[in-house]
Amino acid sequence: MVQMQNKPRPPEDDERLGFARRILILASITISISTSVVCLMLVFALGERSAVVLPIMLGSLSYLAIPFMLHLGMRLRLARDLFFVVTIAVVLVIGLTPQEGIVFGFVTYLPIFICIAGMLYQKKGIIILTLISLAVIALVAVGDMTRLPIQRMIEGPGSIVTISVRHSIAVIFSAVLVIVAMGLFETMLERLRTARDQARRAAESKAAFLANVSHEVRTPLNAILGMAEILRSSDLNEDQRRKVETISESGATLLEMLNDILDISRLEADRMPISPARQDSSDLFAGVERLWGPIAEDKNLRFLIDYDANMPEAIEIDAQRFRQCMNNLLSNAIKFTPEGFIRVAARWDDRVGSPTRLVVDVQDSGIGMSVDAASRIFDPFGQADDSIMGAFGGSGLGLTITRQLSRMMNGDLTFKSIAGEGTIFTLSIGVKALETEATRISRAPHPANGLRVLVVDDIPTNLMIAATYMRVLGAQVDEATSGTQAVELMRNQVFDLVLLDLHMPDMNGLWVLEKVHSFRRKPPPIVMITAGATEAEMDRARSLGARDVLIKPLTPRVMESLLRSYAA
């Protein structure tokens, strides 16, 4: 027997049901409380007989049963119908009492109930409720005619007919108004749905376009930077080395701009993941000094790091995003400082009553900013001064990205600047202190000694660069140029690690990941490499068993870090 599965409701249906539930509860409580208060005022303030007021008060209190039954699990549709059954019954019973009738009964409230029904029923339900309301008015009017003359106000049938017609017109007008409003609302809702769908398609097209651009740019850029790095490690004379370094610096600048554009797009789409993990704080800042110290010294700038002695040795932080923030700040500091110093001061903020934070000041003695220029410093694609773009270059996105990343990590980015004297940027990030490990593993000079690595890429240049990096780090490397060849090698041989290109013609990396699950033995750890992939593709790769996804261009530092983690 095939078991039918209920299709999940769209999110907008859940929102509509929640809205209807709130309206029903609010209307029931409001009617009950307001009417009860009026009844008590009639008895105690105006001296009305309790026998006259009691039926009205009991009728209003009956509405409290609706929220109670919804709380017990009654279906919304049944509770809605019960609400209007109680309403019609209360209006009819009170209207038929000699003391109330067509004038003093609840008949005048029927248009209000029609409006409430407009938020709970479709058009058919509104029409049915309108016809029932007209029938109630007619019954109450007939009841009043049988009791003529009514001493309180009405003496003849003409007055009853006039009042009944007025009530009927009010009910019909309310129904027409509600139906028209429902039509306008549905039209507006349809337009909003269309706009939402168009926005989603535009966002998906933008993501696909950026992924394609990233792939098309990163693929040759990986070759340029990789070959330049390999050349730098060979025997070169001074002139050759200077030319290779120019190639590397130009490629790195292009890569930085590409990364900024892609990062701001991911931040706008709320697709920038934050992944805190254990990190040694001393290693974190030692890496900053190793990277930026020589760059500052090449520009004859003093590079200083002050480290808080109270800083925990082990902290939980997204080290990749922290380094990205620091790289943006130090790149700007060095760029805009012709002479003097760059100072990094790290401190631990664990004040009572506030979350623990890592606070880093990046200070320079550079050109600084005026008050007017400082007001535009965080604008995307903007610079503090229009002349800066021509004099110093850059995309104008680094500080925008850094501030957004810091806020995603429960921190912020602020600054103080004086034109001609320098700038201090203060980066704060919410972190947790962790217990210090008993021992630390010393790092071997060749982390991949003894590891057998398979590198898979359909582009020969990229394949050669990745394989060369691995061999320099001490790995035994096998190469494959297609998904089919990679599957055969992994089926028949044992590897400690596989670097697998995601985008390949015919059988791509995702196909390979699916195939290795059919092996009798456990597949090796597989790390995907790509020049451009959408978030959906990367999530799909991880769901199929990929340990990680690396974005090209690959660098020796990234490869060394990868191999150390798998060698351990």
**Residue 300 confidence (pLDDT):** 92
Give me 519's structure tokens.
């092996």
Adjacent-strand bridge partners of 433: 315
305 has which bridge partners? 344
Q: Judge whether 378 and 398 are in contact, CB under 8 Å.
A: no
Quote the CA–CA distance of 489 and 9 in Å, as a whole number.
Answer: 46
CA distances, 77 to each of 68, 72, 82 (Å):
15, 14, 9
**Which tokens in the block code for residue 522?**
């456990």
Amino acid 359: pLDDT: 93
pLDDT of residue 4: 42
Element containing residue 528 per DSSP (H, E): strand 526-530
Q: What SS3 state is found at 331?
A: helix
Tell me the per-residue pLDDT of 510-523, one tens digit each, with 9 for 90 and over: 899 988 888 877 88
pLDDT at 361 over 50: yes
Whole-angstrom distance, CA of residue 404 vs CA of residue 328: 12
Packed helices 556-567 and 460-472: angle between N→C axes, nearest 10 degrees = 60
Q: What is the 3-state secondary structure (H, E, C) of 124-158?
A: HHHHHHHHHHHHHHHHHHHHHHCCCCCCCCCCCHH
* Residue 372 in tokens: 């007017």
The full DSSP string for 54-122 is HHHHHHHHGGGHHHHHHHTT--HHHHHHHHHHHHHHHHHHHHHSTTTHHHHSGGGGHHHHHHHHHTTS-
If you average pLDDT over residues 235-255, what whole number do you get?
80
Question: In the prediction, which pLDDT does 567 show?
Answer: 60
Alpha-carbon distance 126 to 112, whole Å? Answer: 12
Query: Which structure tokens are listed for 289?
Result: 């000094």
- Contacts (Cβ under 8 Å, ≥6 apart) of 394: 257, 332, 335, 383, 388
The predicted-structure confidence for 431-466, as pLDDT tens digits, reads as follows 988 876 654 444 455 566 778 899 999 888 888 888
Concatenated DSSP letters of 159-174: HHHHHHHHHHHHHHHH
Per-residue pLDDT tens for 52-78? 778 778 878 888 888 888 888 888 889
422-430 vs 412-418, strand pairing mode: antiparallel
End-to-end CA gap in the chain: 52
Q: Which of 35-39, 131-135, 552-556 has the highest mean pLDDT?
A: 131-135
pLDDT at 177 over 50: yes
Is the per-residue pLDDT at 233 higher than 50?
yes
